[in-house]
Amino acid sequence: MKRIVDRNNRALREQAVEVEKPLFGTRKLAKIITDMQEALGNEDDGVALAAPQIGLSLRIFVVSPRTYGKNDKSRPLVFINPRLIKRSKRERLVDEGCLSIRWLYGEVRRSENATVEAYNEKGRRFTRGGGGVLAQIFQHEIDHLEGILFTDKAKNIRDIPPPPVA
């Protein structure tokens, strides 16, 4: 099983490459997506994960069903070669963290609404819009695909480790 890499991994600072058309619908792509879903599923507080976070410089991210009102048995949403095609002008400061930058949190200015165009595993193009947390996730994950970490944009960064286990 793939592990989530930490902030020092080179893949987190590279601009991820597009998934080529011949890879759509293959076992290889299915395995990458499964690895991402499993890595995300192993994190109780994770809401999304980009391929660079498991050390793969590919333009893919997955979103946990927890973020869009589905139960844990639902499949995560998969976005391949995503493009942010629309963002609201209205922005707000939101708290953010990252599974690759444990346990830092900070405030990042994000658009309140965002729309992404992407492909699914079979190569079919789709568009998905979202507001609030989902819009924030779209922007955070696409930043990952550009080699940008939330700490590059955040203000008031603080270290909040989890409470000790009793």
Instruction: Please report whether residue 102 resides in a domain.
Output: yes
Instruction: Please report whether residue 38 resides in a domain.
Output: yes
Domain with 111, as residue range(s), is 10-159
The whole-number average pLDDT for the span 136-165 is 96
Q: What is the token pair recorded at 66?
A: 């927890």
CATH code: domain of residue 31: 3.90.45.10
Residue 99, pLDDT > 80, answer yes
**Integer CA distances (angstroms), 71 to 42, 48, 65, in order:** 15, 15, 6
Instruction: Please report whether residue 106 resides in a domain.
Output: yes
Span 62-95, pLDDT tens digits: 999 888 766 656 778 999 999 999 999 999 999 9
Total of domains in the chain: 1
146 has catalytic annotation? no
Q: Which of 14, 96, 117, 141 is catalytic?
A: 141
The whole-number average pLDDT for the span 126-133 is 96
Instruction: Please report whether residue 5 resides in a domain.
Output: no
Span 28-47, pLDDT tens digits: 999 999 999 999 999 989 99
Instruction: Please report whether residue 4 resides in a domain.
Output: no
Quick one: what percent of the chain has pLDDT higher than 90?
88
Instruction: Please report whether residue 58 resides in a domain.
Output: yes
- Stated as kind and residue range, the H or E segment containing 143 is helix 133-145
Distance CA 152, CA 137 (A): 16
Whose tokens are 């994960």? That residue is 49
The whole-number average pLDDT for the span 17-21 is 98
Distance CA 39, CA 48 (A): 10
Span 150-161, pLDDT tens digits: 999 999 999 999
Instruction: Please report whether residue 2 resides in a domain.
Output: no
Q: What pLDDT does 72 receive?
A: 57
Residue 138, pLDDT > 70, answer yes
**Pairing state between β 125-131 and 77-87:** unpaired
> Three-state SS for 67?
helix
Residues 6+ apart with CB under 8 A from 27: none
